[in-house]
Amino acid sequence: MTTAHNKADSQSRGEYDLVIAGGGLVGASLAVALQQLQTSRDDALPLKIAVVEAIAPDSNAQPSYDERTIALTYSSKLIFEAIGVWQGEVEQQACALERIHISNRGHFGICNLDCRDMHTPALGYVVPTRALGQALYREIDTHDNITLLCPATVSTIKQHKNHVDVQVAQDSQAHSLQAKLVVIADGGRSGLLDQLGFVVDSQPYPQQALLSIVSVDRDHQHKAYERFTPAGPLALLPVSDKRYAVVWTETTEEIEQLTALNDEAFIQALQQAFGHRAGLFSQPSPRKAYPLKQSQVASPVQQRTLVLGNAAHTVHPVGGQGFNLSLRDVASFVETCSEEETLITDLGAPEVLNRYAQQRATETKRVAHFTDSLLSIFSAPSPSLKFGRNGALMLIESLPFAKRALLKRTMGMAKHQPKLARGKRLFKAPASK
């Protein structure tokens, strides 16, 4: 693993084009994706990038790269493919998600989504976060223009008109970095948002999400399930032969009771809540619970500062949109930094940040509204809404155009998307000599 200790010391201190505070999935993806800009001109100087991460990616305490799985939309797969991360181990460990069965527990409405409706090989992919993290860091290690400071934290940021001063604490020492742009992608763990005065609108949900992996007595055939219950969705995502990742949304009180159960009692509770459509469950992995909230910064940009990932916005896990929205933010920012075939060398220029913020504001709000609406509609106890949502599921099932519209949204293909999310190059391939 590359750290500042085994790269040139002069590069670990001094001037950078970009300092990324947070080396999780979003921060690491940004560092790798920005390498796309280096192919725009033969005379372009490499961008000097520093990635500051508090926890080593191979540590069990690293929240981005633990034993969880992550559901990637089809557009996210295209992004990782374009930046050279998908090929190899990630692709080998990814489980294609070809069909999704959506139902409302205890009611007649159902809807079946199929990748054949979109003429794609999959609707998305379920990938171990550790495999994805290792692939990102292997790619980072191949680029001499990226310095990884880990374990280290950004302690203070001071903004100026033409640069940003960044103080980094590492090994009981303080490093002073200067950059044209600082990106905060640490999920807000460091309190940098408060330090800089970013306004955040945050509303906690009265539920938590419980995560586990269970075995089943039959092959999943690349089929996922999203079953809505009164408290929230219960999702099963295929991860390997005869195994599912469970994402179970319930009230905080119920989650506390579920996490206290032994394996046998937990399986019984899961079977009762979901039913037998996917088979008989067994062998659950240790359960982890996470609080849920919806949050969004009023503006993700300040003077030479950009907020990305969960630090900028969080949404409910229904529909699996959270990280995928953040990854499209990364793709959009990299595209914003390119003007036709001319490399923008000042990533923190006001026109770059403002153009990015304008481009992403609409989709960020749209995704938040989409996930929140799904939760409200399918969890509301009103009898009239129960009848309406069952009818809506059956209507989507019977109308191909409605099904395609829903699929475009869940696959990250709705409206105008960044080039990388559409599987397109940022720049034309160099002409052969």
Residue 118's SS3 state is coil
Domain-located, residue 350:
yes
Domain-located, residue 153:
yes
Domain-located, residue 234:
no
Torsion of CA 129, 131, 134, 138, to 10 degrees: -130
Residue 34's SS3 state is helix
The predicted pLDDT at position 318 comes to: 79
For residues 306 and 333, what is the distance between their CA atoms, to the nearest angstrom?
A: 10
Bridge pairing between strands 164-170 and 301-302? unpaired
Residue 110's SS3 state is strand
Give me the DSSP letters along 210-239: EEEEEEESS--TTEEEEEEETTEEEEEEEE
Q: How far apart are the first and last CA of the chain?
A: 37
Residue 242: phi, psi to the nearest 5? Answer: 60, 35
For residues 243 and 236, what is the distance between their CA atoms, to the nearest angstrom?
A: 9
Bridge pairing between strands 223-229 and 232-240? antiparallel
Compute mean pLDDT per 10 residues along the chain, 433 residues long, and list them. 42 80 96 82 75 79 66 96 93 96 77 92 94 94 94 95 95 92 88 94 90 96 91 91 93 95 97 94 94 92 96 86 93 85 77 92 84 67 56 69 81 86 73 42
Bridge pairing between strands 200-216 and 243-251? antiparallel
306 forms beta bridges with 183, 301
DSSP symbol at 382: -
CATH number at residue 102: 3.50.50.60
Q: Which of 127, 179, 129 is nearest to 149 (CA)?
A: 179
Containing 26, the helix (H) or strand (E) segment is helix 25-33
Residue 337's SS3 state is coil
Domain-located, residue 268:
no
Domain-located, residue 240:
no
pTM listed for this prediction:
0.90
Residue 250: phi, psi to the nearest 5? Answer: -150, 170
Q: Residue 321's domain spans which residues?
A: 4-202+293-422
Give me the DSSP letters along 306-323: EE-GGGTEE--STTS-HH
Residue 114: phi, psi to the nearest 5? Answer: -135, 140
Q: How many domains does the chain have?
A: 1
- C-beta separation of 426 from 419 below 8 A: yes
Domain-located, residue 196:
yes
Q: Rg for the chain (alpha carbons), in Å? A: 22
Domain-located, residue 208:
no
The predicted pLDDT at position 432 comes to: 43
For residues 127 and 69, what is the distance between their CA atoms, to the nearest angstrom?
A: 5
Domain-located, residue 174:
yes
